[in-house]
């Protein structure tokens, strides 16, 4: 049978575009279906605009710290509209770059919503197209929790479209998205209250890392209400009122400026895809795939957040390229999910790779040895600030292999990226010890811990 495309990708996010371009390099005829702007969550509503806002939020501290180095005090104020406009202009520029890359790769873009008619046929509006292979790369979307009055809250997707800076905001959720935006908005001058159901933020990360960041956020002026059992939101003339009830039954109401941010997680965007017309299986809304990103329908694949494995942009890109190499390039390979590094762009910043201490102890028991260092980096000595850096190595004492590395502090993401290479290669603590440190730097602490 003759098809319109060798590969049709539903979703022009990082994973979908990476797959499309790599498949096209191998000579495949490729189409991409997208109803929104190119680049997906990362470029339009995630990594890129968020990181630009992270940069913006850190200037007030830098202005203050400069005084300790002899610079005269700086009086400066934020023009929110100018910042948001600049951020969104950069997003638009990146959209254009993605368009150029797809055009150069001779990948056709089909504008609209894609929906399965059958295993080989996709409806895009009134048009139907066929493909030998179809990739689902639709990403995810923010969850709106079942909370009374949740209609008065925005999500992380909406934060980049606020015309005015909120003076007060309540953030619901203690994951990395909620914690990052708490720090960003606090740094920009907003009064922030973060509401979490557990005892600590950042569930799933190393406990020392969680405690260090939460303590620092409190010192920076973010109010964290933890162990919250009930949340209700209502809107009146004063703004948005968020009422919370703790474990002991005590209630408190926090008032925000007509906006509350719900950041309690994301889920795969697999609804309304017409998957019932295929053999594709779902688990909790996520597409079930094998090690080759193949679904239960042998010609349909899925990568990225819609599979709910590790929801990171570089993971989706690697999954997509591995798929294209295997299916169209004759180079069979799979994505490895071991030792994937990640960063949390809170203030202070954090980054991690490998096993947490709890994971390591569950797997290796008493063989686990922890190396930990907590110190004030040289940068903060002249400003006289008590900002702490935490570094931690998790080691299997029987094999001497480094199982995990965790850091909280300035430039954590940049430092852990290099450490991740060593851990991915199976480095031992002896290898770390034998490496000469760069002095003076915070990074040298990873090779001098005893």
Residue 271: closest CA among 140, 112, 109: 140
CATH T-level topology, domain 150-264: FAD/NAD(P)-binding domain (3.50.50)
| Amino acid 345: pLDDT | 98
Phi, psi of 368 (to 5 degrees): -80, 130
Segment 156-205, tens digit of pLDDT: 899 999 999 999 999 999 999 999 999 999 999 999 999 999 999 999 99
| Amino acid 337: pLDDT | 97
CB atoms within 10 A of CB 247: 10
Question: Does residue 112 surpass a pLDDT of 90?
Answer: yes
Candidate from 142-151, 256-265, 323-332, 385-394 with smallest mean pLDDT: 256-265
CA distances, 122 to each of 44, 113, 131 (Å): 25, 10, 8
CATH class of 348-447: alpha beta
| Amino acid 258: pLDDT | 67
Judge whether 47 and 312 are in contact, CB under 8 Å: no
Segment 1-57, tens digit of pLDDT: 899 999 999 999 999 999 999 999 999 999 999 999 999 999 999 999 999 999 999
Exactly one of 141, 283, 406, 439 is catalytic; which is it?
A: 439
Identify whether 439 is a catalytic site residue: yes
What does the pLDDT average to over 130-150?
95
Same fold, 5-141+267-327 and 150-264: yes
| Amino acid 248: pLDDT | 86
- Residue 401 DSSP code: B
Segment 394-449, tens digit of pLDDT: 999 999 999 999 999 999 999 999 999 999 999 999 999 999 999 999 999 999 99
> Which CATH number does 5-141+267-327 carry?
3.50.50.60
| Amino acid 237: pLDDT | 86
Domain ranges in the chain are 5-141+267-327, 150-264, 348-447
């Amino acid at each position: 049978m003759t098809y319109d495309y060798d590969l049709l990708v539903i979703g022009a996010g990082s994973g979908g575009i990476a797959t499309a371009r790599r498949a096209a390099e191998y000579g495949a005829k490729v189409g991409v279906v997208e109803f929104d702007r190119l680049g997906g969550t990362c470029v339009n509503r995630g990594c890129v605009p968020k990181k630009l806002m992270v940069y913006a939020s850190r200037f007030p501290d830098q202005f203050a710290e400069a005084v300790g180095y002899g610079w005269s005090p700086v009086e400066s104020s934020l023009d929110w509209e100018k910042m948001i406009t600049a951020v969104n202009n950069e997003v638009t520029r990146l959209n254009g770059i993605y368009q150029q890359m797809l055009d150069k790769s001779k990948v056709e873009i089909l504008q609209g919503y894609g929906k399965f008619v059958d295993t080989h046929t996709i409806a895009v509006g009134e048009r139907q197209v066929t493909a030998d292979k179809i990739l689902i790369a639709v990403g995810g979307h923010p969850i709106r929790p079942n909370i009374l009055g949740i209609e008065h809250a925005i999500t992380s997707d909406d934060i980049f479209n606020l015309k005015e800076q909120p003076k007060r905001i309540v953030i619901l959720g203690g994951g990395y998205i909620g914690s990052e935006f708490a720090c960003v908005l606090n740094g920009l001058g907003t009064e922030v209250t973060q509401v979490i159901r557990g005892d600590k933020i950042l569930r799933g990360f190393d406990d020392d890392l969680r405690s260090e960041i939460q303590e620092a956020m409190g010192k920076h002026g973010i109010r964290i209400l933890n162990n919250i059992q009930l949340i209700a939101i209502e809107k009146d003339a004063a703004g948005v009122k968020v009422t919370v009830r703790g474990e002991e039954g005590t209630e408190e109401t926090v008032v925000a400026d007509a906006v509350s941010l719900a950041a309690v997680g994301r889920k795969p965007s697999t609804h309304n895809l017409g998957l019932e017309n295929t053999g594709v299986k779902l688990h909790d809304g996520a597409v079930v795939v094998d090690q080759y990103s193949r679904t239960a329908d042998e010609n349909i694949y899925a990568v990225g957040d819609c599979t709910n494995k590790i929801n990171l942009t570089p993971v989706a890109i690697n999954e997509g390229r591995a798929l294209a190499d295997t299916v169209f390039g004759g180079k069979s390979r799979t994505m490895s999910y071991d030792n994937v590094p990640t960063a949390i762009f809170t203030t202070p910043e954090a980054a991690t790779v490998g096993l947490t201490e709890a994971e390591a102890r569950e797997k290796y028991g008493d063989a686990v040895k922890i190396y930990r260092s907590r110190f004030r980096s040289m940068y903060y000595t002249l400003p006289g600030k008590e900002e702490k850096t935490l570094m931690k190595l998790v080691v299997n004492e029987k094999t001497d292999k480094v199982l995990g590395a965790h850091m909280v502090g300035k430039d954590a993401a940049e430092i852990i990226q290099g450490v991740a290479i060593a851990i991915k290669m199976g480095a031992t603590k002896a290898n770390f010890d034998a490496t000469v440190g760069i002095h003076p730097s915070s990074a040298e602490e990873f090779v001098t811990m005893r």
